[in-house]
Structure 1
Amino acid sequence: MEPLDDRVARRLAEIKEQERGLDREEAARAAEKADPGAAVVQRRKGSGLRSFLFLTGILVLAAGLLGTAVTLSRLAGKDFSDARREGQATVGRCVEHGPLSTRGFGYWQACEVDITWDDGQREEVTAGVVFDSADTGTTVRVGDLGRDRTTRLLARADVEARPWLRWIGYAVGFLALLPTFVGVLLLREVLRFRRSR
């Protein structure tokens, strides 16, 4: 067995070596605070590409969820019982839009429609999403839901609204907020890092 004095001396030497190591670390931190430009940031090779791909993935996920929310809302249709007035619409020429648009994913058509309201007024409008080319030349019972900016909102009497689909769209849109927020924060940090270099 080792004498007590030798063990104490060896343990004291270990403690002093640990103190010297801590002093070196503290001196390095103090030097870094004094001159932040002296601090060396080590980045692994390819980390810029990985960061770019991750950011792109987050933003594509957010855009996909938002597009899905808009698509579900479009497919829900409008409720005919909310109409302010009713009339007969004769569908003319239709133009197809899509597959990606402000109305979401998939193809939809905007048609020129000649409407004769029950009060005798006539109106020519271009209605999107309500009609398609299969309705060309036919007369359809419609309801007036008012205006949205420059567009007349119409609801068909022969198409039942699906409000549950609109609520699912709202939920998906709410889920899209998280990746959108994360993507914006990541983009801000990437731009801030590039600017500071």
Structure 2
Amino acid sequence: MSRTIALTLVFGLTISSVALAEQADYGLGRPASDAEIAGWNIDVRPSGAGLPEGSGTAGDGEAIYKTQCAACHGPKGENGAFPRLVGGQGTLASDKPIKTVGSYWPYATTLYDYIHRAMPLTSPQSLSPDETYAVTAYVLYLNGLVDRDEALDAGTLAKVEMPNRNGFVSPDPRPDVSNEACMQDCVQNSELKAK
């Protein structure tokens, strides 16, 4: 059997197997309910879309931070076994930039999203919305971005001006993230771009 015929048979069997698998009903599982889908829909956008009801202040968040966060990030977010959360303002253009929530992150809503999804490390998603707002407020307070008694909620969090909000370039100019798909004459086009 020639190599071409063998490859054609393998390709044909693969396509047939995929088509059969797409049509097969093995009687397993069920469609997810709207409530189940909503339970996974927890992302928060830079605009604040997706933030839940609730609120918290830095004063509320201090005790939660001490019990849930300080072991990893240090008592004031400046040291610990895991990344710093505080400091670094004015260092991004230096030879040794310190990337923290207060110096690098462009949106305060991203902090809420990350804390809600992934923190504390030993029990992610265990904080209530009020607790998450409070810890978010405390970390922002430690960075000098909000007052201790300022209540953060779905209406106010997106309005917090982060120092590096305009430090990211849009669209991203790196060629590996913005190339256009080549649909014809691709070899010629790539050769021209390389010159």
Which bin holds the TM-score, normalised by the shorter protein?
Answer: under 0.3
Q: What is the TM-score of this pair, normalised by structure 1?
A: 0.22
More helix by share: 1
